[in-house]
Amino acid sequence: MRVLHLGKYYPPALGGMETFLRDLATAQVAQGLEVRVLAHAERPWRLGNREVAEGVHVRRAAILGRLAFAPLAPGYPMALAGLLADFRPQVIHAHLPNTSAFALLGLSALPEAIRPALVLHWHSDVVTDGSRSLARLYPLYRVFEQALLRRADAVVATSEPYLQASDSLAAHRAKCRVISLGLDPLRLPQPSPSEIAAARAHALKHFAKEMWVQGNHFPGGRESERGPSRSGRKCPLSVQTQIVLGNDGFLILAAGRFSHYKGFEVLVRAAGLLPEHARVVIAGDGPLRRDLLRLAKELGVEDRVRMPGSLPEAQLHALMAGCDCFCLPSVARAEAFGLVLAEAMRFGRPLISSRLIGSGMSVLNEEGITGLAFEPGNALELASAVHRLMDDADLRERLGQAGRERFDTQLHIAPVSARMTELYRELTARAIRRPRRGGKPAA
């Protein structure tokens, strides 16, 4: 079966939608499907390119810039037309939100016998809270959004709570299916004890900048034991020294794009309500990072809250495996699923997340089973949840173990990919049985 995915971006671009798309496409290739991906280049004025990554053929369309977070790619429709002609997909799987996917409205011009089935993957509604530009532009966007939903053969929602709360999907629920997101555990290998110890020690020893080594190398880890990192700098401290310096703290980790809906300011405020040996690391970057650094300074917690920027994947995973708990304090439904929670579950970390109504976060983090929860925006309640974990090591262990088991049984990419392929086969079989205008089934 030939499947064409339309994405907004594709790794190494960061983001939950991008990570899932890569893992799904790779899993589908392993299942024997032919897979192509059309996405956007991440930076403006860069030539589009083509590559083959893990058996997935990826084409990136050049962009001129962005308008309200949407890439402006005048060449995207032409690239799509070329793939339709050359690859002749049987299924088009479009991951939304993505304004360039509106080019699919032209599919109705194709002869019915060669028209591919269209699956829309509803990663998130367009949530306009906190963005005036989005609020102004969304009424126009909605016209095309609803037209594309009417054209789709099936819509995949990532959780039942999100489906039920989505106003955009309300008129189309009959064609909606709920299929959870998933991740490839092979991309999330358990870091070595030395890598975990080094990553944790970095964070707990005042997050000293010189301790973060470029590339996928860790002071005292497997690579550094053989000598200097690829950057040419020697690792400043041994693992044993770092553990002595910093292993007495409680490490709370958060990670993601610094956007308003992530609620990282709630975590910064909660840090001021925690004991002095509590340490908060918020990994990532984005437009609000400077504001959050300023807030930490105003609250007098800059010595306990660190924002090291975007970290290489291997470093982030080592830090994830070494933290005492992982926190996702999101405040808006733009956090449709919270895939980063699944990554933390893979490493057996107890979770703390907000009780965000209409989000799939509650499906991932079942309160009292895989983690604790608090009311969105309530720093005091968040701090109380952290206190509870700090005081109960047995609870941390039980929640973390339950999360790891849930990842293995519900969030592994292989069964998620199998369910998606089952949907493809159902849609293509339906297209074959559908009578053409002359009264005969399509060939």
pLDDT digits (tens, 9 = 90+) for 182-211: 999 999 999 999 999 888 887 776 544 433
In this predicted structure, the answer to whether residue 62 has a pLDDT above a threshold of 60 is yes
Residues 63 and 126 in one domain: yes
What is the pLDDT, as a whole number, of residue 383? 98
155 vs 195, higher pLDDT: 155
In this predicted structure, the answer to whether residue 136 has a pLDDT above a threshold of 60 is yes
Mean of all residue pLDDT scores within the chain: 86
The token pair at 67 is 């308008």
In a domain, 439, yes or no: no
Residues 286 and 244 in one domain: yes
- Whether cis (ω within 30° of 0) applies to the bond prior to 97 is yes
What is the pLDDT, as a whole number, of residue 193? 92
In a domain, 440, yes or no: no
C-alpha dihedral sign at 190, 204, 307, 397: positive
> Do residues 119 and 156 lie in contact, with contact meaning Cβ atoms separated by under 8 Å?
yes
Where residue 260 falls among pLDDT bands split at 50, 70, 90?
Answer: confident
In a domain, 174, yes or no: yes
Cα–Cα distance measured from residue 197 to residue 321, given in angstroms and rounded to the nearest whole number: 9
Q: What confidence tens digit (pLDDT) does each residue in 6-58 have?
A: 999 999 888 889 999 999 999 999 999 999 999 999 888 776 678 998 999 99
Residues 196 and 118 in one domain: no
CATH number for the domain including 223? 3.40.50.2000
Least confident of 2-6, 84-88, 108-112, 165-169: 108-112
What is the pLDDT, as a whole number, of residue 80? 94
What is the pLDDT, as a whole number, of residue 211? 36
Residues 239 and 371 in one domain: yes
Residue spans of alpha helices (H) in 215-364: 222-225, 239-246, 264-271, 289-298, 313-322, 339-346, 361-364
- Among 26, 28, 27, 8, which residue's Cα sits nearest to residue 18? 8
Residues 407 and 417 in one domain: no
Indicate the pTM of the whole model.
0.83
Cα–Cα distance measured from residue 64 to residue 372, given in angstroms and rounded to the nearest whole number: 43
In a domain, 145, yes or no: yes
In a domain, 441, yes or no: no
330 CB-contact burial (10 Å; exposed 0-12 / middle 13-18 / buried 19+) = buried
Cα–Cα distance measured from residue 443 to residue 438, given in angstroms and rounded to the nearest whole number: 12
Residues 163 and 231 in one domain: no
Looking at residue 34, its amino acid is E
The token pair at 84 is 């339709």
What Rg do the C-alpha atoms of the chain give, in angstroms? 23
How many domains is the chain partitioned into structurally?
2
C-alpha dihedral sign at 11, 16, 20, 21: negative
Where residue 225 falls among pLDDT bands split at 50, 70, 90?
Answer: very low
Q: How many CB atoms lie within 10 A of CB 408?
A: 12
In a domain, 249, yes or no: yes
Residues 287 and 328 in one domain: yes
Residues 428 and 394 in one domain: no
In this predicted structure, the answer to whether residue 219 has a pLDDT above a threshold of 70 is no
> Do residues 9 and 22 lie in contact, with contact meaning Cβ atoms separated by under 8 Å?
no
Residues 328 and 419 in one domain: no
420, containing H or E segment:
helix 413-433
328, containing H or E segment:
strand 325-328
Residues 404 and 421 in one domain: no
Domain region containing 240? 186-411
Task: Please tell me whether residue 324 adopts helix, strand or coil conformation.
Answer: coil
**Edge-to-edge strand ranges of the sheet holding 49-53:** 49-53, 56-61, 34-40, 2-6, 91-96, 117-122, 154-157, 176-178
Q: How many CB atoms lie within 10 A of CB 411?
A: 22
What is the pLDDT, as a whole number, of residue 130? 66
Could you give the angle at the alpha carbon of 129 between the alpha carbons of 127 and 134, nearest 5°? 65
Residues 162 and 68 in one domain: yes
Residues 190 and 234 in one domain: yes
Cα–Cα distance measured from residue 126 to residue 119, given in angstroms and rounded to the nearest whole number: 18
In a domain, 443, yes or no: no
In a domain, 442, yes or no: no
